[in-house]
Chain A
Amino acid sequence: KDQATASISAQPVKTFQWKLVTSWPKNFPGLGLGPEKFAQYVNEMSAGRLTIKVYGAGELVPGFEVFDAISQGTVQMGHSGAYYWKGKMPAAPIFSAIPFGMTATEFNAWLHYGGGLALWQELYKPFGVVPMAGGNSGAQFAGWFKKEINSIDDLKGLKMRIPGLGGEVLKRAGAIPVTLTGGEIFSSLQSGAIDASEWVGPYNDLAFGFYQAADYYYSSVWHETGTNLEFIINEKALNELPKDLQKIVEVAAKAVNEDMLDEYNARNNQALQTLINQHQVQVREFPKDVLVALKGYTQEVIAEQVAADPTFAKIWQSYSEFLQSMRQYNDLTLKAYFENR
């Protein structure tokens, strides 16, 4: 028995060095800390057998090129958001944010116990990419506006930086969705080149200094109701890992998935109070009829997506059925409780 142990311990331990690319600047609050923590967890749990070096956006590849880098095997894994891959897979945004969609809790339930994860894996499979939930920003604010929105007419001609399906919805309401890179948003809002911009929520928005550029902060949740982030891994690289390391990767991702939401939940209100008390930001809500109109446009946009892409239709069916059952349940329980506590 001793001999067997000796021969095992005499074998050199095989180690793995991975590179992880992200769509955010390194150490960016919230989003950017996720991959850093992941690397640290994996390193410690595997006692250094799997080490992961994190590269911020642009250090190895630009932020919007993360998926390609994983798919091509340039690096082993990445941390990003699925809506950036809409151009490759029209259904991808379902796995990050859909206007008037699920909350973070509901989404994680669908993903891990409602068949969502299997659909997601199937979607990325042709690219040789394995997805895992990689954190959640929680419900996001409607954004920063230089003027008040009192009716749906106030959205007409409004130049707003808002990506993805939310932008498509706003366009139907008469707004002009504008695409701007991260660095351009602040100065464009400040200079008046755009009238409004969404970003994340108080924690990140405070960090970006938007309060210096716009007076009104709309807290209405509608376009990103619980934005899910992702760890994406090159399938071949993952399969080359021994089983225990694979498990470590999976569990570390799950830990980060929970940890990020915890952090946002803890810090968002803290940051909101700073915005209100120190920076005199005026927090507003969209009037009811504006939200009703936006929801109507959302249904139009989604119906078009469903008609255009069978994969979108298939995933949407699972998603919307789950959302429906969640709504029934939460209407019965939490909705009343939120009113009563």
Chain B
Amino acid sequence: MFTQWLTLTISAIDKFTEHTGKLIAWLTLAMVLLSFAIVVLRYGFNLGWVAMQESVLYFHGMVFMLGAAYTLKADGHVRVDIFYHKFSLKQQALVNIFGGIFMLLPVCISIFIISFDYVMTSWRIMEQSAEAGGLPFVYINKSLILLLAVTLTLQGIAEICRNILRLNIGDANSIAGGQR
């Protein structure tokens, strides 16, 4: 029963993270195309817009703020694996469970609580770019801070659940993906 519930939670969160990650990935291509266009327009045609420069910066922010959870799911956040890679699967699962509970969750929840007013103030005044001709969506850009906290918390919960299952089953191969 408990196991079933865990598996359901994991697969639901995984699906969500996977989809956002795949979507976000296209922004990297958009960044490349846009920055190339900026260079060509500026050097070739003496044209330039602040809004265009800023949009690359916005995409950049989205890529790493929203991609962090996706990277966690893929176990892409670098670890010091001097000892970790020698640990047994059970020990590794324990590291991930305790790290998730005592590092990831407190950090994400704190970021969310501390940043909430900061972001809401920006929404209240519909904050715009400080540059003339810049993008008027600073409040959306600042919201990435809360979104990072939320998406990383979600995926963090999924990882904790996944590693609890690993403790029980003791067989890492039965659950695909995620932190190993």
Give the CA-CA distance A269 to B104 in the complex, in Å. 56
Given the complex, which residues of A lie within 8 Å of B127, measured CB to CB?
A: 87-88
Closest to B45 in A: A157
Q: Is B53 an interface residue (CB 8 A)?
A: yes
Determine the chain B residues whose CB is within 8 A of the CB of A148 once the complex forms: none
Q: In the bound complex, do residue A179 and residue B50 qualify as a contact, i.e. CB atoms below 8 Å apart?
A: yes
Question: How far is it, in angstroms, between the C-alpha of A94 and the C-alpha of B134 when the chains are bound?
Answer: 18
Q: How far is the CB of A292 from chain B (nearest CB, A)?
A: 21
Interface residues on B, range: 20 to 34
Q: Does B118 contact A (CB under 8 A)?
A: yes
Please state if B132 and A168 are interface contacts (CB–CB under 8 Å).
Answer: yes
A156: Cβ under 8 A from any B Cβ: yes
CB interface residues, A 107-126, toward B, < 8 Å? none
Give the residues from 135 to 152 in chain B that come closer than 8 angstroms, CB to CB, to chain A.
138
State A221–B169 Cα separation when bound (angstroms). Answer: 75
Closest residue of chain A to B53 (Cβ to Cβ) is A179
User: What 0/1 pattern do residues 119 to 162 of B give for CB contact below 8 A with A?
Assistant: 00100010111111110001000000000000000000000000
Give the contacts of A73-122 with B (CB-CB under 8 A).
83-90
Cβ-defined contact, B48 with A68, below 8 A: no
User: Once the chains bind, are A177 and B133 in contact (CB under 8 Å)?
Assistant: yes
Q: How far is the CB of A69 from chain B (nearest CB, A)?
A: 9
- The residue in chain A whose Cβ has the minimal distance to the Cβ of B46 is A157
Pair B130/A87 contact, Cβ less than 8 Å: yes
**A171 to B54, alpha carbons, bound, how many Å?**
16
> Is the beta-carbon distance between B50 and A177 smaller than 8 angstroms?
yes
In the complex, whether B47 has a CB less than 8 A from a CB of chain A is yes
A242 to B134, CA, bound (A): 42
State A156–B130 Cα separation when bound (angstroms). Answer: 24
Chain A residues whose CB sits within 8 angstroms of the CB of B132 once the complex forms: 86, 163-165, 167-168, 171, 177, 301
Q: List A residues 165-208 near B (Cβ within 8 Å).
A: 165, 167-168, 171, 176-179
Nearest-CB distance from A34 to chain B (Å)? 21
Give the CA-CA distance A178 to B134 in the complex, in Å: 11
- Candidates B53, B125, B130; contact of A84 at CB < 8 Å: B130
**Contact yes or no, A176 B118, CB < 8 A:** no
Instruction: Determine whether the beta carbon of A167 is less than 8 Å from that of B131.
Output: yes
B117 within 8 A of A: yes
Q: Please, could you name 27 A-B residue pairs with CB atoms under 8 Å apart, sorted by A? A: A71-B121, A72-B117, A86-B128, A86-B130, A87-B128, A87-B129, A87-B130, A87-B134, A87-B138, A89-B125, A127-B121, A156-B46, A157-B46, A159-B42, A163-B132, A164-B132, A167-B50, A167-B132, A168-B133, A176-B42, A177-B48, A177-B50, A177-B131, A177-B132, A178-B48, A179-B131, A179-B134
| A72-B118, A178-B53 known, 8 other contacts, Cβ within 8 Å | A71-B121, A72-B121, A83-B130, A87-B128, A87-B138, A167-B50, A176-B48, A178-B48
Task: Please give the residue numbers on chain A whose beta carbons come within 8 Å of chain B beta carbons, in ascending order.
Answer: 64, 68, 71-72, 83-90, 127, 156-157, 159, 163-165, 167-168, 171, 176-179, 301
Across chains A and B, which 4 residue pairs bring their CB atoms closest together, nearest first?
Answer: A157-B46, A168-B132, A176-B48, A87-B130
